[in-house]
Amino acid sequence: MALGRRFKVGLVALAAVAAVTVAAAPVQAGQLEYVALGDSAAAGPLIPDQDPNLLCLRSDHDYPAIAAASLGAKLADVTCSGAVTADFANRRFGILAPQFDALKPTTGLVSITVGANDSGLFQQALSCINLLPEPAGLSCADRLTAGGKDPLADSVRAWGPKLGEALEEIRARAPRAKILVTGYGTYIRRDGCHPVQPVWARDANYLQSVMNLISSTAREQAQAHGATFVDFASLTVGHDICAAPRDRYLEGLIPAHAAAPLHPNAQGMAVFGAAIAKAAR
Mean pLDDT of the 210-224 span: 98
| DSSP state at residue 264 | B
Look at residue 29 in the predicted model and tell me its pLDDT: 67
Q: Report the sign of the C-alpha dihedral through residues 214, 260, 65, 83, in that order.
A: positive
Identity of residue 175: P
Sorting pLDDT into bands at 50, 70 and 90, what band is 137? very high
- Residue from 59, 66, 109, 100 nearest 81 by CA: 59
CA-to-CA separations, 90 to 84, 87, 94, 96, 104, in angstroms, rounded: 10, 5, 8, 9, 17
Q: Is residue 120 within 8 Å of residue 152, measured between CB atoms?
A: yes
Q: Go through the domains of the chain in sequence order and give each one's CATH number.
A: 32-280 (3.40.50.1110)
> What φ, ψ does residue 182 adopt, rounded to 5°?
-100, 155
Higher pLDDT, 151 or 126: 151
* pLDDT-derived band at 23, boundaries 50, 70, 90: very low
- Confidence tier at 8 by pLDDT (50, 70, 90): very low
pLDDT of residue 10: 41
Is the pLDDT at 124 greater than 70? The verdict is yes
Give the global pTM: 0.89
Contacts of 83 (CB under 8 A, 6+ apart): 38, 39, 40, 43, 92, 99, 114, 117
Task: Verify cis geometry, omega within 30 degrees of 0, for the bond prior to 255.
Answer: no
- Taking Cα atoms as reference points, which of 91, 123, 259, 169 lies closest to residue 248? 259
Q: pLDDT confidence of 131, banded at 50, 70, 90? A: very high
Positions annotated as catalytic residues are 40, 263
pLDDT of residue 25: 56
